[in-house]
Amino acid sequence: MLAPAFSKETDTLLAQARTLCDRRGVQLTELRRKVLGLVLEGDKPTGAYDLLDRLRVHHKGAAPPTVYRALDFLLEQGLIHKVERLSAFVGCIHQSEDEDHHHAAQFLICQRCGQVTELEDPRVDRALVEAARELGFRPAGSTVEMEGTCAACAAAPASAPAPG
């Protein structure tokens, strides 16, 4: 079970995650750290079974529950998000603050290049919370995703979709 080699950026984010978990008194175990690293390394959302395959390289005997339990932990801690439309996971780019565990995020999904952009637009969240409040609905969590064409792909000619 050698530690997988992550990029410098990922290592930085992992160090932040470690600090965050320490402050919260929760355990960022080696397994969870590995899974978080794999999610962060991907430049696009990564499916659970894709993560499982990569995990197995250094973590022999990993099974679906192995990765799903790690993902559950990371979701709870707000270190990753699930993109529902893709059934896939991305690292949260708004961590590092020791605010509340989760935050209201929005995702822009490019149908052409697969790139996903995370937003944290207060106007969007405010509008949604307000609409819910008017109906007496108490919000606990939201999923906001928009599919379409990203700026790069909209500018590129039809035959050359912007690379991943």
List all residues 6 or more positions away from 2 whose beta carbon is below 8 Å from its beta carbon.
Answer: 58
User: Could you say which of a second copy, DNA, Zn ion, none residue 64 binds, taking C-beta under 5 to 8 angstroms by partner kind?
Assistant: DNA
Tokens of 7: 């990029």
β-strand 80-83 against 88-91: which pairing, if any? antiparallel
27 binds DNA (CB under 7 A): yes
Q: Does 81 bind DNA (CB under 7 A)?
A: no
Considering the complex, state which of residue 14 and residue 116 has its C-beta at the smaller distance from a second copy. Answer: 116
Q: Is 84 in the site for a second copy (CB under 8 A)?
A: yes
Structure tokens at 49: 């079974």
By CB under 8 A, residue 98 contacts a second copy: no
| Among 18, 94, 126, 133, contact with Zn ion (rule: CB under 5 A) | 94
Cβ neighbors of 36 (< 8 A, separation 6 or more) are: 14, 17, 28, 70, 74, 79, 80, 91
Q: Which of 64, 97, 143, 164 binds a second copy (CB under 8 A)?
A: 143
Binding residues for a second copy, total number by CB under 8 A? 35
Q: Which two tokens stand for residue 154?
A: 């909209």
The angle at the Cα of 48, spanning 108 to 95, to the nearest 5 degrees, equals 55
Contacts with DNA by CB under 7 A lie at 26-27, 29-32, 47-50, 59, 61-66, 68-70, 73, 82, 87-88
